[in-house]
Structure 1
Amino acid sequence: MDPSQFEALYTAKQTRALDRCAIEDHNIPGITLMSRAADATFDSMINHWPEPELVQVLCGTGNNGGDGFLVADLAHKRGIKTIVLQVGASDKISGDALLARNQALANGVDIQPFEDGAVLSLGVVVDALLGTGVGGDVRGDYLEAITEVNAAGASVVAVDIPSGLCADTGRVLGQAIKADMTVTFIGLKRGLFALEAMDYTGDLQFADLSVPSEVYQQVPADCRRLELELLLEELRPRPATAHKGMYGTVLVIGGDYGMAGAAAMAAEAALRCGAGLVKVATRPEHVSALVARAPEVMPLGVESGDELESLLASADVLVVGPGLGQSPWSEYLLQAAVASGKSMVLDADGLNMLAGGKVKARDGMIITPHPGEAGRLLSCSTAEVQADRFAAARALQQQTGAVVVLKGNGSLIAGDGQLLLSDYGNPGMATGGMGDVLGGVIASLLAQGLEPVAASALGVCLHGAAGDIAAEEGMRGLLATDLIPRLRELLG
């Protein structure tokens, strides 16, 4: 898998480096980039809201505010009633932002200081307050302005990024603008695709501001955004001589008392994604239920790690953790699986026992923690993981040596020196069993010959895209098993 073919995602610092490179190395004046950003924002706004009765532009004192002054100038020239509300002292404005403000003033744009109650519930509000430059939680007049915009109920377009949303992590810094549309420039910010961003960005549009391609070659991306269609090319068409032995045997290990369903879902997902054979090692009491659910699955009741040996020998890839529990039985099976040296996907209670020191991570392992499990593995809180999911994924990969899939909004894959993001999926998938299905999907792709990072990347995107299709019938009540028939449709 060539990561360069996927969309680059940048940190705020990297985006500023792109901007600086365009200005200093390619002789594009900063005011020119600012004008192009204003043009892109205004065009997107007018395409969406063709005849606004009022445009209110909230401008901060930095370059984001400069973009806003020029948007206001364009709206004023178009004959649209326009007001600029200046947040922050105008004597702090300098450089290109000051040039933009002076241009707007010279052309007759009405610029007023922001005061409590100034934001009206009319037309379109343009958020040009903070951009990517915000460091800590929003305070003072900026906090008041953001609160007012959100309460006003007018349509909102954010310039570059909703003010108060962290460009690096997708975390809300105390309070953030809830935009209906965000027009972002030069480089896609990774925080626009992670954590809380989906609730704040609205319709996301990108403008490269006609920056030369050489600029992007000079500033390496921190992360890449995956595209399902490109990943599907990793799966070669099946030849006429295909047989089940060519597509691997997956062994699911799990299903302690009361949790047989988790193992069943992982097994069925593995089958539906194309594995040649799928076996399940589970409690003897659960065998009949698994056969009834999917007669193609080959379950065997095991009581100890010793009884698992023959199944392990026949398997190419293991899924360990769905419904595994943390009983002595669970521990025996996990230790035998890890000792086998087989490629494996480790999830759920397998991760909890890994965090507890019952086993150690090794090469050939893919771990798929949700934020709580990631916190236990990193000896920190779930909140600390969520505060910077990108850093947490990298830390987990470095700590364990495994390929890491950090699940959540903007799922991340870390491995082979790469950091990849999937923004497929939706809130309807916040329900039990989704992780079990994902484990089966990834294991199936491994069994069919994909490398761990490629299998994880395709598996996560398939899983999220299947959830998106299933959610078209409604998010509430969406079940993990609703994804399984959609997986097969996507794979073709």
Structure 2
Amino acid sequence: MPALSTITRFYGAAQVAALDRRVIDEFGIPGFDLMHRAADAGFQALCGRWPEADRLAVVCGPGNNGGDGFLIAARGLASAMTVRVWFPGNPERLTGDAHRAYQAFMRAGGVLTDSSAEALADADVAVDALLGTGLGRPLAGDFLAAVQAINRAGEQGAGVLAVDIPSGLDADTGAIWGEAVRADVTATFIGAKLGLVTGAGPAHAGEVTLHELEAPDRAYADMPWLASQPDDTWLAAALPRRRRDAHKGDHGHVLCVGGNTGMGGAARLAAEAALRVGAGLVSVATRGGQAAAMTQARPELMCRDMTAAADLDALLDRATVVAIGPGLGTDNWARDLLERVLMSDRPLVVDADALNVIAENRPPARDNWIITPHPGEAGRLLGCATADVQADRPAAAAALAERYSAMAVLKGAGTLIADRRGELWVSTAGNPGMAVGGMGDLLTGTIAGLLAQGIDPATAAVAGVCLHGRAADRAAADGERGLLPSDCLAPLRALANPASS
């Protein structure tokens, strides 16, 4: 894998708290100065998104997140906005920098309202500065009521700005603690939080802006992080230009196994994706009667009808990589083919129904495969409910990699990729238009096509996920609704050639 020298690092609540403390203790930047910097960044994000806003509502909590909110409210007053602030309980019981921020707001002429509903009435913009990253239990009482009131204001047309993280969203996992604020913009500070970009995070965070508050680079030097996302430089290194004397044999032979009765399209999508990212040869082993039609539709594919599992042996001998699962089904034909593939020593990319069969009867250990489950399939592989997977996606991805000794790709909003050592990557590419049948098949073929070209499994999995999501984003230029997996094939080819673009 190319060196991850140019990446976005995503942290959890504990790491960000440690960074914050390090900046204060080791680099001598007072916490109140950091709070003012956060308020400046938050207010700039607010004005940038809603430049005509006049009526500002700020919901402040009892910690430093609330302190940020009080200072944002003071900046609103200084800009001649009508500002209403709600705080649960007695603000005089605030301590430290949060109390100093409250006092600054009061000195600026601020007043508090009696309820969050009163503060939010007729607001142009609602600011969520309620809870921050420290939440560890479901919302209740005044906090729950405040979150619900902010969301109602958003539904009625107010803009919603979350300070650091939407209240109710877990900073580490992207899970929801009962309910969470649905923000249009989240101004996050010091370090990017993994929970903002995976699970429910994208739906609740909206547009995310990161402000490091002028923290010194040295503060981040040896701080561990939860996940990383490579950038264009990394992707270009992973997908270098080809030698001028290259031939098809240099770029591998992908065998796609699947396409049971009525599901030939799934296998074809996977096979075409493998071709579009540069595999030299692609064969398809499919259900009897479908091979001729598939070859006619895409003559570059070498398609064979499989009447018995033994028919697969000659194809396995020639394959560099096997992709199995798209349209495979779970009948005896499918199970026999999967058993034959698992007996081979070829590197595998395994998806869809193949994963469901594997979940029923765990196969012998192997170390040369990539599994690509969606949350439902991941739950079956781990013996838990889909909700349990979504409650802690990073832990689920790591558990899949460990249990199956595989590179594990946990699909969904903020797809996660985990290896057996516990290293985690995330992709923020992709859009809701991808919620359509066949997108997973496209990813299977993309990863298999990269793996066939001699790219190592970790790089193939991470690069494949990034290419897949970016291709869908390009294809969604005409709208997310109605996006088809086949729409992504042309942009997939372009993106797989970063050195040429």
Please, what TM-score do these two structures have when normalized by structure 2? 0.95
Aligned counterpart, 2:189 = 185
Aligned counterpart, 1:245 = 249
State how 1:345-360 maps to structure 2 within 5 Å: 345-357=349-361, 359-360=363-364
- Distance in 1, matches of 2:330 and 2:162, equals 48
| Residues 319, 443 of structure 1: 8 Å contact kept | yes
Moved more, 339-348 or 416-425: 416-425
2:297 aligned with 1:293: yes
Aligned counterpart, 1:70 = 71
Aligned residues: 492
Aligned counterpart, 2:334 = 330
2:89 aligned with 1:88: yes
Q: Measured at CA, do residues 351 and 212 of structure 1 come closer, stay the same or move farther in structure 2, by a change above 3 Å?
A: same
| Residues 57, 119 of structure 2: 8 Å contact kept | no
Aligned counterpart, 2:223 = 219
Deviation at 1:334, TM superposition (A): 1.3
Deviation at 1:115, TM superposition (A): 5.1
Structure 1: any 5+ residue segments left out of the alignment? none
Aligned counterpart, 2:169 = 165
Question: Partner amino acid for 1:94?
Answer: T
| Residues 65, 132 of structure 2: 8 Å contact kept | yes
Aligned counterpart, 2:480 = 475
Aligned counterpart, 2:57 = 56
Aligned counterpart, 2:145 = 144
| Residues 249, 275 of structure 1: 8 Å contact kept | yes
Q: What secondary structure, in the 3-state scheme, does the structure 2 residue paired with 1:146 have?
A: helix
- Distance in 2, matches of 1:115 and 1:413, equals 40
Aligned counterpart, 2:19 = 18
Q: What secondary structure, in the 3-state scheme, does the structure 2 residue paired with 1:322 have?
A: coil
Deviation at 1:489, TM superposition (A): 2.1
Q: Deviations over 1:303-339 (max 9, x none)?
A: 2232211111111010011111222222222122122
- Distance in 2, matches of 1:332 and 1:354, equals 12
Deviation at 1:185, TM superposition (A): 0.1
2:123 aligned with 1:122: yes
Q: What secondary structure, in the 3-state scheme, does the structure 2 residue paired with 1:410 have?
A: coil
| Residues 61, 89 of structure 1: 8 Å contact kept | no
Q: Deviations over 1:166-204 (max 9, x none)?
A: 111212222222222110000100000012222222221
2:213 aligns with one of 198, 201, 209: 209
Q: Measured at CA, do residues 445 and 359 of structure 1 come closer, stay the same or move farther in structure 2, by a change above 3 Å?
A: same
- Distance in 2, matches of 1:48 and 1:426, equals 21
Question: Partner amino acid for 2:273?
Answer: A
2:306 aligned with 1:302: yes
2:7 aligned with 1:6: yes
Question: Partner amino acid for 2:210?
Answer: F
- Distance in 2, matches of 1:136 and 1:193, equals 20
2:375 aligned with 1:371: yes
| Residues 91, 102 of structure 2: 8 Å contact kept | no
Deviation at 1:8, TM superposition (A): 0.6
Aligned counterpart, 1:401 = 405
2:471 aligns with one of 466, 475, 480: 466
After TM superposition, what 4+ stretches of structure 1 lie above 6 angstroms from structure 2?
none
- Distance in 1, matches of 2:114 and 2:92, equals 12
- Distance in 2, matches of 1:88 and 1:58, equals 12
State how 1:278-289 maps to structure 2 within 5 Å: 278-289=282-293
- Distance in 1, matches of 2:119 and 2:446, equals 53
| Residues 398, 422 of structure 2: 8 Å contact kept | no
Q: What secondary structure, in the 3-state scheme, does the structure 2 residue paired with 1:281 have?
A: strand
Question: Partner amino acid for 2:356?
Answer: N
2:266 aligned with 1:262: yes
Q: Deviations over 1:22-73 (max 9, x none)?
A: 1122222111111110111112222232342222211111110001111112
Q: What secondary structure, in the 3-state scheme, does the structure 2 residue paired with 1:366 have?
A: strand
| Residues 117, 148 of structure 1: 8 Å contact kept | no
Deviation at 1:110, TM superposition (A): 2.0
Question: Partner amino acid for 2:474?
Answer: I
- Distance in 1, matches of 2:206 and 2:382, equals 33
Q: Deviations over 1:270-289 (max 9, x none)?
A: 11111000011122311111
Deviation at 1:80, TM superposition (A): 2.3
Moved more, 113-122 or 313-322: 113-122
Aligned counterpart, 1:382 = 386
| Residues 354, 361 of structure 1: 8 Å contact kept | no
- Distance in 2, matches of 1:342 and 1:115, equals 61
Aligned counterpart, 1:449 = 454
2:109 aligned with 1:108: yes
Deviation at 1:342, TM superposition (A): 0.6
2:200 aligns with one of 196, 201, 211: 196
2:343 aligned with 1:342: no
Q: What secondary structure, in the 3-state scheme, does the structure 2 residue paired with 1:36 have?
A: helix
Moved more, 363-372 or 88-97: 88-97
- Distance in 1, matches of 2:391 and 2:230, equals 22
Deviation at 1:229, TM superposition (A): 5.2
Q: Deviations over 1:247-295 (max 9, x none)?
A: 0000111122222111111111111111000011122311111101211
Deviation at 1:491, TM superposition (A): 2.0
CA RMSD across the alignment:
1.6
Moved more, 376-385 or 119-128: 119-128
Deviation at 1:405, TM superposition (A): 0.4
Deviation at 1:9, TM superposition (A): 0.3
Structure 2: any 5+ residue segments left out of the alignment? none
Please, what TM-score do these two structures have when normalized by structure 1? 0.96
- Distance in 1, matches of 2:259 and 2:185, equals 45
Question: Partner amino acid for 2:401?
Answer: Q
Deviation at 1:450, TM superposition (A): 0.9
Aligned counterpart, 1:175 = 179
Deviation at 1:225, TM superposition (A): 2.4
Q: Measured at CA, do residues 477 and 46 of structure 1 come closer, stay the same or move farther in structure 2, by a change above 3 Å?
A: closer
Overall identity of the aligned pairs, in %: 47
| Residues 264, 327 of structure 2: 8 Å contact kept | yes
